[in-house]
Amino acid sequence: RSLSKKNWRIVFANSEQAGEGEKENLIDGKPETFWHTNWETTKEKYPHEIQVDLGESVSIAAIVYTARSGMDNGRFKKYEFYVSADGKEWGQPAASGDFSRHELRNTVTLSKSVTGRYVRMRALSPHKPEEFFASAAELDIIPAE
């Protein structure tokens, strides 16, 4: 069961595509919308990052990244997730690895549950070497029991 997103808010994104890929789309509960870094004007390069305030401290068992559907533009390969109590001190990644280019819903189970109020997702590299942008449809948190 995923954590309710009603009190979540995006506190930082290094980039977003206005009119298509606003950062708030990452937590709107609609997999058909998505956050997309700017591909049109500022064209920021990897790594890309977005930070979410969960609204309360939560013990996290897993983090779910849902990729953009319909096309694989912006699906990223290497990732890191961080969890923080204050949104300032992040420490070591709670999880890191590679996402499949073909899976829409990717569940990252943490080796041990981590408690915090803020989650930071870092996209470190693309699947397609020519892509400088990243995208994500949804971010979900599975709390520890």
Q: What is the pLDDT of residue 123?
A: 98
What DSSP designation does 89 have?
Answer: -
Q: Please determine, for residue 5, whether its predicted confidence score (pLDDT) is greater than 90.
A: yes
Please tell me whether residue 135 adopts helix, strand or coil conformation.
strand
**H/E stretch holding 142:** strand 138-143
Provide the pLDDT confidence category of residue 2 given band limits of 50, 70 and 90: confident
Q: How many CB atoms lie within 10 A of CB 133?
A: 22
The pTM (predicted TM-score) of the whole model is 0.95
64 by Cβ neighbours in 10 Å (0-12 / 13-18 / 19+) ranks as: middle
Provide the pLDDT confidence category of residue 52 given band limits of 50, 70 and 90: very high
Provide the pLDDT confidence category of residue 71 given band limits of 50, 70 and 90: confident
